[in-house]
Amino acid sequence: MKWVLLVLAFAGLVGIAIACSGPVTRGALKRLMYEEPSRDRWQRPQQVVEALELAPGDRVADVGAGGGYFTYPIAEVVGEGGKVYAVDIDTSLLAYVAHQAEKRGLPQIETVEAPEDGPGLPDASVDLIFLANVFHHLPAPDRYFAGARRVLRPGGRVAIVELAGGRGFHKAHSTPPEEIKAQLEKAGYALAETHDFLEHQSFLVFEVRGGRSEVGS
């Protein structure tokens, strides 16, 4: 009982801190919800980024970038000649990412406040749309990705990392990989690669069906 009260008191204090702080601090506090200290052990960020097979100069949209957990390592790979759009609907997280990008000397990161139903980017602006732990947030994934096709450059890909299942909290924040595949196929994509090195998550890579981005279709 005592620890329940302590947890509630701590959550209350964090809530008050979030409500009373400026956007960068608010974003930094929210980031803690997504990035518990042991995350690197199961999330394997370097291996995930390597598997994306990016090259210097590539342009990437990190949709639902959160606190930028994947944004920064991706930005390191694409370099200053490339671009990483940190896309999110939460402006305090975007403020935090912009602050970190400056602090870390990564001018290739640009933050984008997007609507819920699309990445909010220009036509043919990226080689890769990347989502980690975001798919379950999308209200209509098939429509989201059908619309997102126009954002991809020819040969562009979509990579999705998502909790594959679980119970309770994890189930509510997961999507079975078969469901992701079905939604993307409906949106006009074909599964190109499946990575199975993540213990709890699926990691699927899709291409536009027919092998090219049909801009504006």
Ligand X SMILES: C[S@@+](CC[C@H](N)C(=O)[O-])C[C@H]1O[C@@H](n2cnc3c(N)ncnc32)[C@H](O)[C@@H]1O
Which residues contribute to the site for ligand X (CB under 6 A)? Answer: 34, 63-66, 69-70, 87-90, 93, 114, 116, 132-134, 137-138
Residue whose C-alpha is closest to residue 31's, from 83, 84, 81, 99: 99
Q: How far is the CB of 90 from ligand X (least distance, A)?
A: 4
For residues 25 and 209, which CB has a smaller minimum distance to ligand X in the complex?
25
Instruction: Point out the residue whose Cβ comes nearest to ligand X.
Output: 66
Q: Where are the alpha helices (DSSP H) in the chain?
A: 2-20, 23-34, 39-43, 45-51, 71-78, 91-103, 141-148, 169-172, 177-186
For residues 69 and 203, which CB has a smaller minimum distance to ligand X in the complex?
69
For residues 98 and 114, which CB has a smaller minimum distance to ligand X in the complex?
114
For residues 137 and 153, which CB has a smaller minimum distance to ligand X in the complex?
137
| Residue 191 bridge partners (DSSP) | 206
Question: Can you read off the two tokens belonging to residue 217?
Answer: 């279709």
- The order of strands in the sheet holding 126-132 is 109-113, 83-88, 59-63, 126-132, 152-163, 201-208, 189-195
Q: How far is the CB of 39 from ligand X (least distance, A)?
A: 8
Question: Can you read off the two tokens belonging to residue 13?
Answer: 């204090």
Q: How far is the CB of 138 from ligand X (least distance, A)?
A: 5
Q: How far is the CB of 94 from ligand X (least distance, A)?
A: 9
Q: How far is the CB of 43 from ligand X (least distance, A)?
A: 8
For residues 45 and 79, which CB has a smaller minimum distance to ligand X in the complex?
45
Vertex 133: Cα angle to 128 and 135 (nearest 5): 70
